Structure 1
């Protein structure tokens, strides 16, 4: 059996409906985990769909874990994770699962496979500047990390690696899990010939000739904090630590001076830096109750 879990947060109803309809035609069971304040009206009558609503927003890590655990209980062998703003082809699940099954038959140590991501803003394939290819098995390329949307996981190997780190809440969750899998001698891979259109960030901006992702102010809290939290962990790649810590001042300047909602962004970044230095985890609302009113 193949299952899927789609994570929602105040989604565009038309885009979400199309994605869910497409996924339902390709999997045996679908878990929809909704972190929106109000429940999303899906209007889809099928026993294949299991809906979970968390109005307080439990974070993407816990939402994914809810889906993964339920798919395990239901007897699924493989689980596909998707964000609400991804677009997949009608044969996406079949092609991705075929590669994962083949890797298992060939005794390749692969725990998860994802597609080549096409950025919906640039309509171009996303190519990491620093990440290097580790190993190539015909149509799959082993890398250090992949994003969670489009990631298909071999559930038989999940218990050893563990579930997603809920203390991170959102940013860095997918990469941390991939790096942790490496400590158990598992690898993650990209399907070289399978593509998926995905929205990365809310918008794009340019500073000093460099185009960068622009997200909501609250995301800056998790981005800044989680960089400092993950930098403490030995299994996190040195190149990732170095690159992200070095660009922190530039990101701080760009968000504090060049973007809208400057004061709000400034406050969230300061809170994130403080909590990162003091090793605080979980949600912003738990750590800064008075400031979240």
Structure 2
């Protein structure tokens, strides 16, 4: 298996410890670091990784994933695993064990092409009887394990750049007849965002009420009173733009119109009215037109 960590201005000590821990837990894993043109010196990471690739520009997460998939194919690896640069590796980390058990599911005609060891962030549907797996509606990037041959035929949408890659990828797999599977034992910890914050502005609170009404039948409804905070507001822009783009083209679940409302809440909360409206209009423009590559070049100077 090839374990891939995509980096961009990471905490060098944290990533170095990640690599060391992975090796301690499973020395059969080879480790590839793909760096999206960080402004930091990553010499320490470069020295301890098995493979280190540095892009000359920040091309986004999707391009890095697809590069890693092709790299894994050249190495003749059967599976590839993705980990975010801020992922904590737990003591029971054993991805090869997960793959071994997943292959047993073939007896029940379940093809193990897309797996996860990050059950905390997966959207679970139901358990597979007599197994340690759950069928998931969606599984997150960090902790995702893919069959390399499957991934070669089904690359990530690079134009999304960063956000909603995992949502679209999971949805596409289900449309193709494959079941995203999440292992019932968490082997990593990864929290989206830098922290959670409660809505504070009038705009945010009013729209939050709408969101609570829309999700009133869910068990964990309290989570809709908070949002994941990012210091870079472009994350919120990409979420809204990509959600509009995917939803209009039926490349995501139809219920994602609720997520679009969530995106509007957060942009309103973080940027305020004037700046928020400007970025919302831009997100709608590119989400509808669909020229995401042009937008990415303007945003990230690619």
* 2:185 aligned with 1:169: no
Instruction: Summarize the Cα distance change of 1:17–1:248 in structure 2 as closer, same or farther, 3 Å threshold.
Output: closer
Deviation per CA, 1:93-143: give whole Å up to 9, x if none.
2332233332345541231111245xxxxxxx44x7xx5505524210011
Partner secondary structure for residue 164 of structure 1:
coil
Residue aligning to 1:151 = 144
TM-score by length of 1: 0.82
Structure number having the greater helix percentage: 2
Instruction: Summarize the Cα distance change of 1:16–1:159 in structure 2 as closer, same or farther, 3 Å threshold.
Output: closer
Partner secondary structure for residue 110 of structure 1:
coil
- Cα distance in 1 between the residues matched to 2:155 and 2:296: 23
* 2:7 aligned with 1:17: no
Deviation per CA, 1:204-246: give whole Å up to 9, x if none.
210147111012112122111101111023342112x221133
Residue aligning to 1:109 = 111
Distance apart, 1:284 and its partner CA: 4.2
Aligned length: 273
Structure 2 unpaired stretches of 5+: 200-204, 206-221
* 2:267 aligned with 1:252: yes
Deviation per CA, 1:181-203: give whole Å up to 9, x if none.
11221111111123421131122
Deviation per CA, 1:162-184: give whole Å up to 9, x if none.
11110111101111111111122
- Cα distance in 2 between the residues matched to 1:224 and 1:181: 22
Residue aligning to 1:189 = 181
- Pairs within 5 Å for 1:227-238: 227-238=243-254
Asked if the contact 2:90/2:189 (under 8 Å) is kept, the reply is: no
Instruction: Summarize the Cα distance change of 1:190–1:155 in structure 2 as closer, same or farther, 3 Å threshold.
Output: same
Instruction: Summarize the Cα distance change of 1:44–1:159 in structure 2 as closer, same or farther, 3 Å threshold.
Output: closer
Partner secondary structure for residue 82 of structure 1:
strand
* 2:237 aligned with 1:221: yes
TM-score by length of 2: 0.80
Residue aligning to 2:227 = 212
Structure 1 unpaired stretches of 5+: 118-124
Residue aligning to 1:94 = 96
Asked if the contact 1:255/1:266 (under 8 Å) is kept, the reply is: no
* 2:35 aligned with 1:34: yes
What's the Cα RMSD here? Answer: 2.7
Structure number having the greater strand percentage: 1
